[in-house]
């Protein structure tokens, strides 16, 4: 079998893989009812920071909430805009390409959301604090923030991976070809970071394999550390849940 390897490196880790994002996360829906409940609790409008392709933002817009979606990756945001148009939700969502600590959205949001490990992209505590304080300024008094972070204790107890691990196989939404998604991770337990290399092998009908490599770094945050960060940034009464049922 012939093989063509195209290694893609970019300052935007999502640029080479935005085309795959919705397909690989098609089954990621268990958190959506929770965000609906939180929106009912705190009220709109809703601010999603790190909205990606709009998975959560568009779900809430479909529930009738006005949503602002902030995302630094233009290819991901382009997918979100396209999906909003296709679903007739464009008037309910305002999109902004910006980082978590410098977006210019309006103030007065009832709920802010950082879903699906978005917070992990903030690699330094200074970045985390800057982002949380900036988000707090865009919430009205009594507003809330929901942050989904991986269980750091579970990650630190896991043995280091040896070689590539297959994550999933899905169809390329543009070509219909099979895509094998793999990953390799290197955990730094001192810095609380993980270097993840995502590998996407797209298998064409003629047997040619086109490979896309997308490295990215993430930071783990332990629950007590998260509590201190939120308190330092002006938030109160943190509630911690182990899953999306509460």
> What residues contact 228, with CB distance under 8 A and at least 6 apart?
none
Closest CA to 194 of 221, 170, 213, 167: 221
Percent of residues, the chain, with pLDDT higher than 90: 79
Preceding peptide of 6 cis, ω within 30°: no
Residue 48 placed within a domain: yes
Distance (Å, rounded) from C-alpha 112 to C-alpha 135?
Answer: 7
Distance (Å, rounded) from C-alpha 230 to C-alpha 145?
Answer: 10
Same domain, 38 and 140: yes
Residue 241 placed within a domain: no
pTM equals 0.90
pLDDT, residue 161, reads: 58
Section 72-77 average pLDDT: 97
Section 87-112 average pLDDT: 97
Percent of residues, the chain, with pLDDT higher than 70: 93
Q: Which residues pair with 201 in a beta bridge?
A: 180, 211
Q: Which residues pair with 219 in a beta bridge?
A: 193
Query: What number of other Cβ atoms are within 10 A of residue 198's Cβ?
Result: 21
pLDDT, residue 6, reads: 52
Closest CA to 134 of 223, 37, 47: 47
Residue 25 placed within a domain: no
Give the dihedral sign, CA 99/104/105/110. Answer: positive
Q: What range defines the domain where residue 199 resides?
A: 3-16+153-219
Give the CATH number for residue 65: 3.40.50.150
Between residues 70 and 163, the one the model is more confident about: 70
pLDDT tens-digit map of 143-152:
999 999 988 8
pLDDT tens-digit map of 179-225:
999 999 999 999 999 999 999 999 998 889 999 999 999 999 999 99
Domain total of the chain: 2
């Amino acid at each position: 079998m012939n093989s063509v390897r195209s290694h893609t490196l970019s300052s935007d880790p999502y640029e080479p893989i935005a085309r795959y994002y919705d397909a690989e996360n098609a089954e990621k829906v268990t958190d959506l009812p929770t965000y609906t409940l939180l929106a009912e609790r705190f009220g709109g409008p809703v601010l999603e920071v790190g909205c990606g392709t709009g998975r959560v933002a568009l779900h809430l817009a479909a529930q009738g909430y006005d949503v602002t979606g902030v995302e630094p990756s233009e290819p991901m945001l382009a997918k979100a805009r396209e999906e909003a148009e296709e679903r007739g939700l464009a008037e309910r969502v305002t999109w902004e390409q910006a980082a978590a600590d410098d977006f210019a959205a309006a103030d007065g949001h009832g709920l802010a959301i950082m879903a699906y490990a978005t917070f992990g992209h903030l690699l330094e505590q200074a970045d985390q604090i800057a982002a949380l304080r900036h988000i707090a300024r865009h919430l009205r008094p009594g507003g809330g923030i929901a942050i989904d972070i991986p269980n750091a204790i579970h990650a630190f107890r896991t043995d280091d991976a040896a070689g590539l691990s297959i994550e999933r196989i899905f169809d390329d939404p543009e070509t219909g070809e099979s895509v094998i998604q793999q990953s390799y991770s290197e955990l730094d337990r001192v810095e609380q970071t993980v270097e993840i290399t995502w590998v996407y092998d797209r298998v064409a009908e003629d047997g040619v394999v086109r490979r896309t490599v997308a490295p990215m770094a993430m930071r783990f945050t332990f629950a007590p550390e998260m509590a201190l960060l939120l308190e330092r940034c002006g938030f109160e009464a943190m509630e911690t849940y182990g899953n999306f049922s509460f």
